[in-house]
Structure 1
Amino acid sequence: MGSIDTESLGRRIIAHPFVLMIISAVMVIGSVIGIGIIGNQIHRQVGGNMWLSLGLSCAVAVVATGVYWLFVRYVERKPVTDLATGGALREWGTGVVLGFAAMALSIGVIAVLGGYVITGTNPVSVLVPVLGMAIMAGVWEEILFRGILFRFTEQWLGSWFALVFTSALFGLAHIANPAATWLSSAAIALEAGILLGALYMLTRRLWAVIGLHMAWNFTQGGIFGVAVSGGETRGLIASQMQGHPLLTGGDFGAEASLPAMVVCTAMGLAALFLAWQRGHFVSASWQRFKSGRGARD
């Protein structure tokens, strides 16, 4: 009997998409928690201010990106194509435009229907903490949900399952936020989960989804002064919501409103249709094996 090549067996186990997903998720989440702990210690020592918070938010984004890059390069042993710099600014800018449009249209509809009222303005300095929040969430959450969870689930179980799984998980991840309800989590899953997943499928890179996520949060909080996923913010425009929670999203913010669900889900379905048209859907691994096809349908 031939001896078992334990090194080869171990490498095959590590190379399975599920194992890679768990390892990379633990590494990225662990790095974010670590920076958070260090940040809390710094705040206790020197006191909090908006510029320090912005710096710590940027540190989270940089460290999460670095850990992901190292994982792909040295554990997966492949080029880090989803963070390649060629065309990155153009893709990021496209995502920013889409994120701004999604939230501006949603809040515009709410305003036309009487649910959003402008009460004044705030100084430009209110943008600093919102910018920090947008950078941190836009980078590390997209690395986790699209770069890791979506990508590896898609490799294993196909695009449809990856889209449903990560959209549902993205919505569920917001259930502990202030003022969150099951409706708000379902709204996040439908409007953001589908749109971000479809945009990742279209580009196969992280720049556009990072830009969209950043602009989505910054537009709500930094420009229109609307709560972002339940978190109260001050924006350039001082405002208040009035009317039924289905119109305004209630205390959770515009993301939980019916206008946002309609506008953003429609954008997500349009992006998903484009991904389908361009042949960017991936079959489950066993279907590819049976048919002898490559990764793409």
Structure 2
Amino acid sequence: MRFVWQFLAVVAVYALGGGAVNAVKDNDWLSLVLGVAVAALIVLVYGWVVRRTEHRPAPDVVREGAAARTARGVLIGGGMFTAVIVILLASGHYDVDGLGSVTGALGLLGLMAAAAATEEVVYRGVLFRIIEEHIGTYLALVLTGLVFGCSHLLNEDATLWGCLAIAIEAGFMLAAVYAATRSLWLTIGVHFGWNFAAAGVFSTEVSGNGASQGLLDASMSGPELLTGGAFGPEGSVYSVGFGALLTLVFLWLAHRRGHIVPFGSRRAAGANSAATLPR
């Protein structure tokens, strides 16, 4: 029942907050304020529902060190996407025509903050964490990663390849980040850094939702296998490669820290995160 109550609580904020942010997405300043507010709200609701259903604080959203962990995540996610763009730029598939919109980038900051926080709380904080207790880290990573990828099939320009790419480079990778650090702040930072770099800085398509006008006025062209086509650079083999590499790195780190939950060895709720403070 704790899974049911946690899932219902965070999905309610996910749905209502997402609807509210989408309703004001044409107003950059409202998008900024409301997006940040929704991001903060879902983290607070998650912490509250974990305390109520598991009778303990939620160690993956502790306030101590939250800013530093989030910042590290933003650097990882933003750096990863920037590396993809640098490769595309060097190969002539990404062109910068000039400056875009500063206010547009600010609006996207709010939108991407809300998206990153809500999706990480739902998919890693609730789904991955609780499922992992029953079937182990590796199976939970694959299962929740595929569910995360398939959820993008509803996007306007979604493709099966694009959703598989999202599963690998985001679903698998972010679950591995969570397994290694037991910190939602870091996964939120990685998710936000990637999405904001894509939309708010480089003005590319994000997960088949169309291109946004961020800081740069830019365009892409070339083979879909390299650029991702209408789905955006997340459908690029470069993104998949970087995501797969980081997945392996963080799984190695999780193993080294003793954070891997073996299949068939069910741990008590929260044991995999309470024993060690998030790092």
Residue 21 of structure 1 is matched in structure 2 by 3
Structure 1 CA distance for aligned equivalents of residues 226 and 161 of structure 2 = 13
Contact preservation (8 Å) 1:275, 1:281: yes
Following TM superposition, by how much is the alpha carbon of 1:218 offset from its aligned partner in structure 2, in angstroms? 0.6
Structure 2 CA distance for aligned equivalents of residues 142 and 181 of structure 1 = 22
Q: Which of 220, 223, 234 in structure 1 is aligned with 2:213?
A: 234
The one-letter code sitting in structure 2 at the alignment partner of 1:261 is: V
* SS of 2:72 mapped into structure 1: helix
The one-letter code sitting in structure 1 at the alignment partner of 2:7 is: A
5+ long unaligned stretches in structure 2: 274-279
Greater displacement, 69-78 / 26-35: 26-35
Structure 2 CA distance for aligned equivalents of residues 136 and 198 of structure 1 = 21
* SS of 1:174 mapped into structure 2: helix
Following TM superposition, by how much is the alpha carbon of 1:126 offset from its aligned partner in structure 2, in angstroms? 1.8
Q: Kindly provide the CA deviation profile for residues 140-176 of structure 1, in whole angstroms up to 9, marking residues without a partner as x.
A: 1100011000100011111011101111011011111
Structure 1 CA distance for aligned equivalents of residues 12 and 202 of structure 2 = 33
Structure 2 CA distance for aligned equivalents of residues 233 and 21 of structure 1 = 36
Q: Which of 136, 142, 151 in structure 1 is aligned with 2:114?
A: 136
Does residue 90 (structure 1) correspond to residue 72 (structure 2)? The answer is no
Q: Kindly provide the CA deviation profile for residues 72-122 of structure 1, in whole angstroms up to 9, marking residues without a partner as x.
A: 111211111111112212211111110011100111112222211111211
The one-letter code sitting in structure 1 at the alignment partner of 2:12 is: G
The one-letter code sitting in structure 2 at the alignment partner of 1:144 is: V
Residue 202 of structure 1 is matched in structure 2 by 180
Contact preservation (8 Å) 2:201, 2:215: yes
Contact preservation (8 Å) 1:283, 1:295: no
* SS of 1:279 mapped into structure 2: coil
Structure 1 CA distance for aligned equivalents of residues 159 and 185 of structure 2 = 30
- Could you say if the C-alpha distance between residues 38 and 163 of structure 1 is closer, same or farther in structure 2, counting changes exceeding 3 Å? closer
Q: Which of 103, 124, 131 in structure 2 is aligned with 1:153?
A: 131
Residue 98 of structure 2 is matched in structure 1 by 120
Residue 80 of structure 1 is matched in structure 2 by 58
Larger radius of gyration: 1
The one-letter code sitting in structure 2 at the alignment partner of 1:258 is: V
Q: Kindly provide the CA deviation profile for residues 54-74 of structure 1, in whole angstroms up to 9, marking residues without a partner as x.
A: 222223222212221111111
The one-letter code sitting in structure 1 at the alignment partner of 2:259 is: H
Superposed, 1:277-296 pairs within 5 Å as 277-284=256-263, 286-288=264-266
Matched-pair identity in % = 36
Instruction: Give the TM-score normalised by the residue count of structure 1.
Output: 0.85
Q: Which of 234, 238, 241 in structure 2 is aligned with 1:259?
A: 238
Residue 17 of structure 1 is matched in structure 2 by none
**CA RMSD, 1 decimal:** 2.0
Structure 2 CA distance for aligned equivalents of residues 233 and 84 of structure 1 = 33
Greater displacement, 202-211 / 125-134: 125-134
The one-letter code sitting in structure 2 at the alignment partner of 1:127 is: A
The one-letter code sitting in structure 1 at the alignment partner of 2:3 is: M
- Could you say if the C-alpha distance between residues 109 and 35 of structure 1 is closer, same or farther in structure 2, counting changes exceeding 3 Å? closer
Greater displacement, 63-72 / 26-35: 26-35
Residue 192 of structure 1 is matched in structure 2 by 170
Greater displacement, 105-114 / 165-174: 105-114
Structure 2 CA distance for aligned equivalents of residues 110 and 81 of structure 1 = 39
Residue 277 of structure 2 is matched in structure 1 by none
* SS of 2:95 mapped into structure 1: strand
* SS of 2:98 mapped into structure 1: strand
* Aligned residues between the structures: 269
- Could you say if the C-alpha distance between residues 102 and 125 of structure 1 is closer, same or farther in structure 2, counting changes exceeding 3 Å? same
* SS of 1:213 mapped into structure 2: helix
